[in-house]
Structure 1
């Protein structure tokens, strides 16, 4: 084949690979079909304690409290299809990790990647710390989408170690008027558990120590404090001691759907991404074949010629 023609074919093939890859990303489609979709009227704002006490090993035997939180929130999102979820975490500071979104995959990822404060970070646990930011987020949501019902799910151990007395604590009562329901989920036990030092929470690096006694520090869940928060919000309290059915809790939220049955059809195109991916695969295989052929050819071209025998034939 003419070298110029061969080079042109290589360029065209590689341009085609790029175009096919772009086509896969764009997810092309033609025509129209119906896709079942569930649309709920709920905005669920999840508030999670990420202080070090949530690493304590007293959930469902000897598991970190935060692992119980993550498992329950993933199950909650699955049980409320079509709802919008937001995630607010608090420790030394409170921040909105994820604004309200119907993308439950993004919510699950945000929950899975919640990281706890280090043993020497923060300024002690305070169960009421998220009140100002929680109020602000709910007020914005009410202003932007007044037709939707807002639910608050608070997940924590209720521990207060800042030394603040009752008169200095913030109340959740002002939040009560901004929500249509919710729940306070409590993790840990009153007997408490040690807190691993390492980020993977396996205890291999030892446990957090009490700076005053140098003994292993024990975090005690304050279930009474959590019940008080639930009363202030006007929602139910549930002590989560292990995996369990969340159906009664979900039912209490009384989610309603756009068609009254929990389903809704929306128009969508017939997805042709598979076709673009098939073309891409074929082009990549051709490119690999050409590369292997070039390597094989170069090996033969670079092989040293055999030296002639001395004296020639007799």
Structure 2
């Protein structure tokens, strides 16, 4: 069995020791105080202790060897930086499909090719958001990518194509400090369209911070119309974003800016690759970094692992439900007392027999 803690070992180890120590002390205290109490009281505290242990065990992410992963990719950190501005909805990808559809397909294709790697998802529009920290859970990545949508048009105030530089730099540095031996791969997915009204700041990173990756461009020189994202709820009737530059009655067009994308690629030290519908992921990955991504003859496979944390998490969830039922039951028992109010001294005297009643 192997462990892959959700936090670095130097954080998890003292945390586990502290939690287990507190739990042992609490159980000893309860045992001393519960000598005259009903057996259920001691049982409840034992189950609460088990709940804590299950949560700690799930955080350690146990697993057993199983399956296989490519040796060249099993121990690297991969960062996806995805443009979610309104222009990513432009319908000039493949058969008049949104560009975001191509970005989604490429992210999952890369994740499949780099099986066993750790993935992080960062999106940017007016602001930058870390949608998912580094994890090997590709099912979580799949879910997040599937529900990824362009920014709500009403909130769009112009954006820079390099606004994610600071957050990306912080995440890369943290990854290098935690696991300096792991390659750090960056895939920037966007169309290069700058709408903030200012020239984009450089997206340069320190030498050695990025060890591979690519800037992936989506869109055409002819451009495409953008469906307006109106927010939560069905958008079948949503119209296209209008042209506010003087073209009354016309829909706005978004055009890819490949020069800008090449500049970003130069800043990051990775190649630029234009992506079209049907393009395979494998050739692009070789262009991204032949030195660290290309699989050699001796890199056939590594043992993968089957995650077991979900079993512990399911047990903890069942115990949490039990605790919730107990709390609700106690609240229900206390409810009548909250309406009764304290007994008045006068009511007590009224129940005393009158002095002359026995005469």
TM-score by structure 2 length? Answer: 0.60
- TM alignment of 1:18-33, pairs within 5 A: none
- TM alignment of 1:98-113, pairs within 5 A: 98-113=132-147
Cα deviation, 1:9-33, whole Å, max 9, x if unaligned, reads xxxxxxxxxxxxxxxxxxxxxxx98
Partner of 1:60: 94
User: Shift of residue 261 of structure 1?
Assistant: 2.2
Partner of 2:121: 87
Which of 132, 140, 144 does residue 178 from structure 2 map onto? 144
User: Shift of residue 140 of structure 1?
Assistant: 0.6
Q: How big is the alpha-carbon RMSD for the aligned residues of Structure 1 and Structure 2?
A: 2.8
Greater RCO structure (CA 8 Å; 6+ sep): 1
For 1:268 and 1:233, the matched residues in 2 are separated by: 34
Query: Higher strand fraction: Structure 1 or Structure 2?
Result: 1
Query: Higher helix fraction: Structure 1 or Structure 2?
Result: 2
Note if contact 2:151-2:229 (Cα within 8 Å) is conserved in structure 1. no
User: Shift of residue 242 of structure 1?
Assistant: 1.2
User: Shift of residue 205 of structure 1?
Assistant: 2.6
Cα deviation, 1:265-297, whole Å, max 9, x if unaligned, reads 66999xx9xxxxxxxxxxxxxxxxxxxxxxxxx
Return 5+ residue gaps in structure 2 as ranges.
1-62, 312-359
Note if contact 1:68-1:243 (Cα within 8 Å) is conserved in structure 2. no
SS at match of 2:185: strand
Structure 2 CA distance for partners of 1:44 and 1:266, relative to 1, 3 Å: closer
For 2:207 and 2:108, the matched residues in 1 are separated by: 25
User: Shift of residue 170 of structure 1?
Assistant: 1.8
Which of 79, 83, 100 does residue 49 from structure 1 map onto? 83
Partner of 1:263: 302
The range that moved more, 182-191 or 32-41, is 32-41
Which of 211, 227, 248 does residue 262 from structure 2 map onto? 227
Structure 2 CA distance for partners of 1:34 and 1:56, relative to 1, 3 Å: closer
Which of 227, 242, 246 does residue 277 from structure 2 map onto? 242
For 1:141 and 1:52, the matched residues in 2 are separated by: 30
Return 5+ residue gaps in structure 1 as ranges.
1-31, 273-314
For 1:244 and 1:78, the matched residues in 2 are separated by: 15
SS at match of 1:109: helix
For 2:234 and 2:242, the matched residues in 1 are separated by: 15
Structure 2 CA distance for partners of 1:161 and 1:83, relative to 1, 3 Å: same
For 1:85 and 1:267, the matched residues in 2 are separated by: 17
TM-score by structure 1 length? Answer: 0.68
The range that moved more, 142-151 or 32-41, is 32-41
Partner of 2:221: 190
The range that moved more, 121-130 or 246-255, is 246-255
Partner of 2:242: 209
For 2:272 and 2:139, the matched residues in 1 are separated by: 27
Note if contact 1:152-1:183 (Cα within 8 Å) is conserved in structure 2. yes
- The runs of 4+ residues in structure 1 deviating greater than 6 Å are 200-203
Note if contact 1:56-1:193 (Cα within 8 Å) is conserved in structure 2. yes
Aligned residues: 236
